[in-house]
Amino acid sequence: MSSNKTNTKKRYAAERRFKLYGKLAIGLAFAFILILLVNILTKGVGGFSQTKITLDVPAGFETTSNARKDFKNILKYNYPDKSSRELRKLGKAFSSNAGYEVATQLEQATTQTVKVTAASDVDLYYKQSADISLPDIQLELVNNLKQKNAINTQFNKDFFTLGDSRNPEKAGMMASFVGSLFTILACLCLALPLGIATAIYLQEFAPKNRFTEILEININNLAAVPSIVYGLLGLSVYINFMDLPRSAALVGGLTLALLILPVIIIATRTALKSVPDSIRKAALGLGASPMQVVFHHTLPLAMPGIMTGTILGVARALGETAPLIMIGMVAFIPEIASSWLDPSTVLPVQIYQWTKMAETGFIEKTSAAIIILLLLLILLNLVAVYIRNKFERRW
């Protein structure tokens, strides 16, 4: 009797330890996720704002055909006591695109002041986003601007409207966002109809024999193949054999279609299996053909599960980098693509490119782009959960 009680206590103690280990594992996972998110947010929030410096414009100022010269004249007017050498050093405190900004503002209206984007180091120093040390003359400039209230931060709309740039203060994510959109659309145009059609055939019409069993096993195995293998396949088939243009969104979409095709097939088959056979038998008993049973009854009822699997597959494709690097979508793309055949890049590749840049300002841009990518992935997953909960039927 005492032996049974001892064994029972041991089992209960082992169960408590197992539950404790499980809670510790979950807590550790949440801690790492929290550290990651805090690190990204603290570094990336500054990327959504930029520092602007206000300069006075001389009365009756006449522009010339040389925008950089106009900017230098305005800078000299604001700091007449500085030598030419000091003015050159002061000019480095402003964006390399300062001349264009000044010219654009002077063309729009007659104004007594212009707002110019600060250089990356000045921007980080003013926002205190990083440990930056400025040259003495630039430090004096920032302190002087603070006293005159001529320096401030504002929403960085350039980050959402411009393409990539070698200068972090002018680098934006619009080109990569449009490239991602084109790539995902091309991916869906191939993967969605082909994946659904394959799943319908295998689940509803294919005979159960050795060939279909081997086919099903291979489809399941393809879902676990490393993504870079699909990049090599896309490189050899679409670029080397079909001679499609490198770094085009069409090629990227076709490559990612190969990646998510097994996912869509498996999700569609699972959704079709969840529809009770009684519905098929009832439709057949009322005189419906096998094709009518599938397209009028089985497929509509399975559509919520199909859409959920498709959205999760798209979320995976949206975050892929390796296959797209293999087909050349890693080039410097400052222009926004206007078609599927234009050179383009995608958000994950753009993030990868920015991590290799030496300038400190790109750290902020990288984290800001990661925030945008995470929000898109979270949104897609929420849509998938909503569709599943809203339209899923329990039999």
Residue-wise pLDDT tens digits, 208-251: 888 888 888 888 888 888 899 999 999 999 999 998 988 899 99
| Separation of alpha carbons 350 and 175, rounded Å | 9
| Burial status of residue 318 (CB atoms within 10 A of its CB: 0-12, 13-18, 19 or more) | buried
Name the residue with higher pLDDT: 106 or 175. Answer: 175
Specify whether the CB–CB gap between 116 and 101 falls below 8 A: yes
In which band, very low, low, confident or very high, does the pLDDT at 43 lie, cut at 50, 70 and 90?
A: confident
| Separation of alpha carbons 198 and 149, rounded Å | 65
Give me the pLDDT at residue 101, please. Answer: 87
| Burial status of residue 316 (CB atoms within 10 A of its CB: 0-12, 13-18, 19 or more) | middle
pTM for this one?
Answer: 0.87
Beta strand 49-56 with 113-117 is antiparallel
Name the residue with higher pLDDT: 263 or 358. Answer: 263
Residue-wise pLDDT tens digits, 261-320: 999 999 999 999 989 989 898 988 888 888 999 999 899 889 888 988 888 889 889 989
Residue-wise pLDDT tens digits, 105-115: 887 766 688 89
In which band, very low, low, confident or very high, does the pLDDT at 99 lie, cut at 50, 70 and 90?
A: confident
Q: Which helix (H) or strand (E) holds 152?
A: strand 151-155
Give me the pLDDT at residue 260, please. Answer: 93
Examine the pLDDT at 1 and tell me if it is beyond 70: no
Specify whether the CB–CB gap between 116 and 98 falls below 8 A: yes
Give me the pLDDT at residue 97, please. Answer: 86
Give me the pLDDT at residue 19, please. Answer: 92
DSSP annotation of 242: T
Task: Give the domain ranges of the chain.
Answer: 46-156, 174-391
CA neighbours within 13 Å on the CB side: how many for 285?
6
In the chain, pLDDT over 90 holds for what percent of residues?
36
In which band, very low, low, confident or very high, does the pLDDT at 62 lie, cut at 50, 70 and 90?
A: confident
Give me the pLDDT at residue 110, please. Answer: 62
Dig out the tokens for 50 from the structure.
Answer: 């930029």
Q: Which helix (H) or strand (E) holds 268?
A: helix 249-273
Dig out the tokens for 100 from the structure.
Answer: 């264009």
In which band, very low, low, confident or very high, does the pLDDT at 180 lie, cut at 50, 70 and 90?
A: very high
Examine the pLDDT at 59 and tell me if it is beyond 90: no
Superfamily of domain 174-391: MetI-like (1.10.3720.10)
Specify whether the CB–CB gap between 97 and 119 falls below 8 A: no
In which band, very low, low, confident or very high, does the pLDDT at 259 lie, cut at 50, 70 and 90?
A: very high
| Separation of alpha carbons 277 and 34, rounded Å | 46
Length of the chain: 395
